[in-house]
Amino acid sequence: MTNHTVDTDFFLMEFSHSHQLQVLQGFLFLLIYLVSLMGNLLIIMLVTVEKCLHTPMYFFLKNLSFLDVGFISVTVPKLIFNSLSHRSTISFPGCVCQVIFVATFAASEISILTAMSCDRYVAICHPLHYDAIMNRTVCVQMVAASWLFGSLFGALYFYGTFSLSFCDSRKVPQFFCDVPSLLKISCSKIHVTIDISVIVGIVYAFLCLVSIVFSYIYIFNTLLRIPLSQGRSKAFSTCVPHLIVVSTFLVAAVIAYLNPVPDYPQRLGILISVFYCLMPSSINPIIYSLRNKEIKASLWNFLWKLHNYVLYREKQL
C-alpha cells in the first residue's frame, strides 16, 4: 500500500553506529557550521557598514553570503542534532523542506555567481562604462532575478516531491533529503514533474556555466593585452577568488549529483555529499578574505572603530 502523507517519517543515513563517533562527528560539524556562519555573517556586516565596500562586486558578495548561510543551514543543523541525539529520523514535511530549500539556494547561488562574472567582465573589459552599466538598479534587478529563479526551482521541486508515493522503504541513502535519494526509494513509477525539474535545472546550470566561461574568455583576453603588470595583477586578484568559488561549487555539485545512487548507502557517497553541503559555504568567506585587501582593511577599520567606541563608553561610565 502506498503512502505519502505528512505523517511519514524517513530514516536518514548515519555515518557510524557508534555513539561516541556520532557525538564526535556532531561536534565537528557544529564547529564547521559555526565557523561558516561567523565568516559569512562577518562579510554581510562589513559590506553593510563600510562605505568603501558599497560597490556592485561587494553587493553581489553580500548576497552570496546570505545564500551560503541559508544553504548550509538547511541540512547541517539537522545532521548535528541527529548525531548528538543518536537519532536518524526526519518527518516528511521536514524532508520536503530540505528538498525545496536546497534547490532554491543552489539555483540562486549559481545565478549570483553568474552575475558576479558579468560584473567582472564589465569592470575589466569596459571600465569606462562600468558605472553606467552596473548601476544600483541593474544590480538589484540581477539579484532579484537570482532569488526569483531559485524560488521557481524550489516550487517545482516542492510540487514534484509531494507527488511522490513511498511504500515499504523509508531509508534515505543520504544524510539529508535530496531528489535522487527520494526517487531511489519511491514506489511511484511516474514522476514527470521531478524529471522535468531536474532537466530544467541541468540546462539552467549549463547555461550559467557557459555564461561564466565566455565572460572569463573575454576577461583573460583583455588582461593579456594590459601592458602594466600592476594593473594586470590587481585585475587577477579580483577574478581568482570568484573562479575558485565557482569551481568548488560546480565540481562539488557535479560529483554529488551525477553519480548514480547506489542500492545500499556508501560512505564515500556520503562524504562527497558532506563536501558539497559544507565546503562551498565554509571556504567562500576564507577565499574572499585572504585574497582581498579591501575586505581585510575594512575588517581592521571596523575593529579599530569598535575598540575606540568601547574606550569611549568606558570613559563615559
Q: For 148-152, 199-203, 215-219, 245-249, which range has the lowest pLDDT when averaged over its residues?
A: 245-249
Q: How confident is the model at residue 230 (pLDDT cuts 50, 70, 90)?
A: low
Q: What is the mean pLDDT of the chain?
A: 80
Tell me if residue 17 falls in helix, strand or coil. Answer: coil
Instruction: List phi, psi (to 5°) of 23.
Output: -65, -40
Q: How far apart are CA 285 and CA 266, in angstroms?
A: 30
pLDDT at 270: 67
Average of pLDDT values for 84-89? 82
Q: What percentage of the chain exceeds 90 in pLDDT?
A: 15
pLDDT at 2: 45
pLDDT at 141: 94
Question: Is the Cβ–Cβ distance between 99 and 158 less than 8 Å?
Answer: yes
pLDDT of residue 1 exceeding 60: no
Tell me if residue 185 falls in helix, strand or coil. Answer: helix
Q: What is the pTM of this model?
A: 0.85
| Beta-carbon count within 10 A of 3 CB | 13
Note the pLDDT tens digit of each residue in 126-139. Answer: 888 888 899 999 99
pLDDT of residue 5 exceeding 70: no
Domains and CATH numbers, the chain: 9-292 (1.20.1070.10)
Q: How confident is the model at residue 3 (pLDDT cuts 50, 70, 90)?
A: very low
